Amino acid sequence: MSAAAFDPSHPETWPLVLTFGEVCQVFRTPQSSGYEQRQAGRFPVPELLPRVAKGPRYHRDDVLLSLKSRSGQASALERRKALHGIR
């Protein structure tokens, strides 16, 4: 059985942990812009810590929550949890 290919527009194909490049694809932003946002502390998704890979990794649920927040679909409680890093 082969794994489903990553499709930025279909969260059901996303792995549990996404790379920086995959998150940039989801947000439809060039990686160069993503790096600039990360350096400025404005990247919309918190990194998983401790870092266990070469580059930053992001949890699928954090990415989905960030997308919901941007589209106005997240509840006030979800936004508050995201802002304060509460799981």
Residue ranges of domains in the chain: 14-84
Lowest mean pLDDT, pick from 10-24, 30-44, 60-74: 60-74
pTM for the whole structure: 0.74
CA atoms within 13 A on the CB side of 74: 19
Pair 82, 74: CB distance under 8 Å? yes
Q: What is the CATH number of domain 14-84?
A: 1.10.1660
Q: Report how far residue 44's alpha carbon sits from residue 75's, in angstroms, rounded to the nearest whole number.
A: 17
Mind listing the pLDDT tens digit for each residue in 42-62?
Answer: 898 999 887 777 889 999 999
Give dist(CA 4, CA 2) in Å, integer: 6
CA proximity to 7, closest of 20, 19, 22: 22
For the segment 30-44, the average pLDDT, to the nearest whole number, is 92
- H-helix or E-strand spanning residue 17: strand 17-19
